[in-house]
Amino acid sequence: MTIRVGVGGWTYEPWRGVFYPEGLRQADELKHSSRQLTAIEINGTFYGSQKPASFKKWHDETPDDFQFSLKGPRYAVNRRVLGEAGESIDRFFTTGLDQLGDKLGPILWQFAGTKQFQADDMAAFVALLPEKLGERRLRHALEVRHESFRDPAFLDLARRHNIAAVFADADKYPTPLDAADEPTADFVYARLQRCAEDVDTGYDGPALDAWAEVARGWSAGGKRDVFVYFISGAKVRAPAAAVALIERLGR
């Protein structure tokens, strides 16, 4: 079991000359970032299908112990009746995700901040999520962003299905879990969204020390995998925050 730390995506112009060395070819940015970080969350799968060749290329350009988290498609989560998302979910898993092999990490299903918790509605969605892709066990994480999800019934649903309720360190959206709460799955998915532009490492030293301790607690002595992503906030600082946390955890 491991604690993986990363950012969202790898193509971001303000990172050039800050995270990426001056003169680095854009084509080499994934190679560079995957050797500084231990995971990346891919946002592009939320907006549209990727090609199998792209997943294969990402697999081949990254180290053996690297992983990608993928956002599930918006067509599955941005609908009034979640139980009708089956076709969109099934299509997503035929787009070549298997080309990532062991580098396929959790699938993140991110819901709009206006989506409210309805127990039957969410249970119907969860029932549509496949347990395996071929012979590979899949991990699913639900990022819910409405206060109505701070409901024991939602957390119970997630626990019954070994699905991670995402922990978010965010100002804008409430999170169903506090950092000290018992995780809902055999892995943890956290999105830290308060990077400050006037802090070189996004979060200051004491905050990063504290998050390192939280991540170790989530791992429960190595019993759980943990995925921590620095997302949003001052995005230009996200890679430095991730690298600084990796250093504290002892890469």
- Secondary structure in 3-state letters for the chain: CCEEEEEECCCCHHHECCCECCCCCHHHHHHHHHHHCCEEEECHHHHCCCCHHHHHHHHHHCCCCCEEEEECCHHHHCCCCHHHCHHHHHHHCCCCHHHHHHHEEEEEEECCCCCCCCHHHHHHHHHHCCCEECCEECCEEEECCCHHHCCHHHHHHHHHCCCEECEEECCCCCCCCCCCCCCCCCEEEEEECCCCCCCCCCCCHHHHHHHHHHHHHHHCCCCCEEEEEECCCCHHHHHHHHHHHHHHHCC
Of 78, 65, 145, nearest to 105 by C-alpha is 65
When comparing pLDDT for 235 and 233, which is higher? Answer: 235
Q: Starting from the edge strand earliest in sequence, which strands make up the sheet with 140-143, in order? A: 164-165, 140-143, 104-110, 67-71, 39-42, 3-8, 225-230, 187-192, 167-169
**Number of structural domains found in the chain:** 1
Q: Is the pLDDT of residue 1 over 80?
A: no
Alpha-carbon Rg of the chain, whole angstroms?
A: 17
CATH of the domain at 27: 3.20.20.410
pLDDT band at 251 (very low <50, low <70, confident <90, very high): low
Spatial separation of the C-alpha atoms in residues 155 and 223, rounded to whole Å: 20
Tell me the percentage of the chain whose pLDDT exceeds 90.
Answer: 94
Percent of the chain with pLDDT over 70: 99
Q: What is the pTM of this model?
A: 0.97
pLDDT tens digits, 32-61: 999 999 999 999 999 999 999 999 999 999
Q: State yes or no: pLDDT of 174 exceeds 90.
A: no
pLDDT digits 0-9 by tens, 70-94:
999 999 999 999 999 999 999 999 9
- Average of per-residue pLDDT values in the chain: 96
Residue 225 sits in which domain range?
Answer: 3-249
Given a contact cutoff of 8 angstroms between Cβ atoms, the answer to whether 195 and 202 are in contact is: yes
110-168 pLDDT, tens digit per residue, is: 999 999 999 999 999 999 999 999 999 999 999 999 999 999 999 999 999 999 999 99
Residue 83: what pLDDT?
96
Q: What is the mean pLDDT of residues 86-113?
A: 97
Structure tokens at 34: 């995957």
Residue with structure tokens 């730390």?
5
Dihedral-angle region of residue 63 (phi above 0 means left; psi in -120 to 50 means alpha; beta otherwise): beta
Q: How far apart are the C-alpha atoms of 118 and 250, rounded to whole Å? A: 41
pLDDT at 218 > cutoff 70? yes
